[in-house]
Structure 1
Amino acid sequence: MRIAELELIRDLPLFHDIAPENFDRLTEAALLQRFPARVELIHEGALPDFLHVVVEGSVELYAQHCGRETTLDILGPLSTFILAAVVRDEPYLKSARTLTDARILMIPAEASRDIFSRDSAFARAVVNELAMRYRSIVRALKNEKQRTGSERLANWILKADAQQGGNGYVSFEYDKRTLASLLGMTPENLSRSFSVLTQHGVRSLGRGLTIEDRDVLRSYAQPTPLIDG
Structure 2
Amino acid sequence: MLRLNLRDKNTLLRTSFLSELGPTAMASMLEIANISSYEARDVLFREGEPADCFYTVLSGYVRLYRLNKDGREADIRICGPGDIFAECLLTLGDTYLYNAQAAENVTLARFDLGRVRQLAEQEKDVAKAIMRSLSDHLRGTMDCIANDRLQTAPQRVAHYLLTHCGAEEGPGSVRLPFQKSLLAGMLGLAPEALSRAFSSLRKVGVTVRGRTIQISDISALKQI
TM-score by length of 1: 0.84
- What is the aligned residue count? 218
TM-superposed deviation, 1:138:
0.3
Does the 8 Å contact 1:41/1:96 carry over to 2?
yes
Pair 1:112–1:89, CA change in 2 (3 A): farther
Does the 8 Å contact 1:53/1:80 carry over to 2?
yes
TM-superposed deviation, 1:64:
1.1
The CA distance in 1 between the partners of 2:20 and 2:192, in whole Å, is: 47
Pair 1:57–1:216, CA change in 2 (3 A): same
The residue identity in structure 2 corresponding to 1:50 is C
The residue identity in structure 2 corresponding to 1:43 is R
Partner of 1:64: 67
The CA distance in 1 between the partners of 2:9 and 2:210, in whole Å, is: 39
Does the 8 Å contact 1:18/1:119 carry over to 2?
no
Does the 8 Å contact 2:52/2:114 carry over to 1?
yes
The CA distance in 1 between the partners of 2:214 and 2:120, in whole Å, is: 46
Pair 1:84–1:193, CA change in 2 (3 A): same
* 1:33 matches 2:47: no
The residue identity in structure 1 corresponding to 2:17 is L
The residue identity in structure 2 corresponding to 1:116 is A
Task: Select which of 46, 51, 56 maps to 2:54.
Answer: 51
Partner of 1:119: 123
Gapped regions of structure 2 (runs ≥ 5) = none
* 1:132 matches 2:136: yes
Pair 1:198–1:131, CA change in 2 (3 A): same
The CA distance in 1 between the partners of 2:49 and 2:88, in whole Å, is: 13
The residue identity in structure 2 corresponding to 1:145 is R
Does the 8 Å contact 1:203/1:210 carry over to 2?
yes
Pair 1:38–1:19, CA change in 2 (3 A): same
Gapped regions of structure 1 (runs ≥ 5) = 221-229
Task: Select which of 174, 179, 182 maps to 1:178.
Answer: 182
Deviates more, 1:48-57 or 1:183-192: 183-192
Q: Secondary structure at the match of 1:45?
A: coil
Does the 8 Å contact 1:60/1:96 carry over to 2?
yes
The residue identity in structure 2 corresponding to 1:63 is R
Pair 1:2–1:151, CA change in 2 (3 A): closer
Pair 1:144–1:20, CA change in 2 (3 A): same
TM-score by length of 2: 0.86
Does the 8 Å contact 1:51/1:107 carry over to 2?
yes
Identical aligned residues as a percent: 26
